[in-house]
A and B are shown apart, each in its own frame.
Chain A
Amino acid sequence: MFRARPVLLLLVAAAACETTPTAPTVIEPPLVPAVATAVPLRWDSADELAAWTTPVSTGPFSIQGDSTDAVIRVDLIAGNAALHGPELDPPLVDVQGVRMRYRWLNRQDGDSLFLPVYLRPPGVPTTLPRLLPPSSSADFTLIRSGAWMERMLTTNSVTKSLFSARYAVLKVTNTLFTAPAPPSHGTVEIDWIEIARSTGSSDE
Chain B
Amino acid sequence: MARSTPFSLILLVALASRAFAQSTEPLTTKGLRLSWIEVGGGLTTPIFPGEGTALTGTVQARVNLFSSLAVELSTHSPGSAGFYDLHMRLTGKPVGSASGFFTMGGLGVFETRHVREFRNTLPTGDVIVYPAHRYSRVTRPFAMTFGGGARFELSDRVTADLGGELWVGAGTALAFAMRTALMVGIGPRR
Contacts and interface: CB of A to CB of B under 8 A. Distances in A.
A22 B131 contact: yes
A155 to B, nearest CB: 14
A26 B127 contact: yes
Given A2-B102, A14-B108, A28 B126 contact: yes
A91 B134 CA distance: 36
Contacts, number: 117
B27 interface: no
Interface residues of A, number: 39
A171 B125 CA distance: 12
A52 to B, nearest CB: 13
Nearest to A29: B125
Contacts of B90: 2
Interface string B123-141: 1111111110111111111
A15 interface: yes
B170 interface: no
Nearest to A124: B128
Given A14-B108, A16-B140, A21-B130, A120 B6 contact: no
A11 B137 CA distance: 17
B13 interface: yes
B125 to A, nearest CB: 3
Contacts of B9: 9-10, 13
A183 to B, nearest CB: 19
Interface of A: 1-7, 9-11, 13-19, 21-22, 24-29, 56, 82, 84, 116, 118, 120, 124-126, 128, 130, 167, 169, 171
A171 B123 contact: yes
B17 A18 contact: no
Contact of A10 (B71, B115, B129, B133): B71
Given A10-B13, A15-B6, A19-B133, A29 B108 contact: no
A198 B125 CA distance: 27
Interface string B95-137: 0000000101110100000010000001111111111011111
A129 B135 CA distance: 30
Contact of B88 (A10, A15, A116): A10
B87 A7 contact: yes
Interface string B4-35: 00100110011001010000000000000000
A124 B13 CA distance: 48
B130 A128 contact: no
Contacts of A84: 124-125
A171 B122 CA distance: 12
Contact of A27 (B104, B127, B140): B127
Closest 4 CB pairs of A and B: A29-B125, A13-B6, A6-B13, A27-B127
A28 B106 CA distance: 49
B86 interface: yes
29 contacts: A1-B19, A2-B19, A4-B104, A6-B10, A6-B17, A7-B87, A9-B9, A10-B10, A10-B86, A10-B105, A11-B106, A13-B6, A13-B10, A17-B138, A18-B136, A19-B135, A19-B136, A24-B128, A25-B131, A26-B127, A28-B125, A56-B125, A82-B125, A84-B125, A118-B122, A124-B128, A125-B124, A128-B124, A171-B123
A15 B124 contact: no
B10 A27 contact: no
A15 B141 CA distance: 8
A116 B123 contact: yes
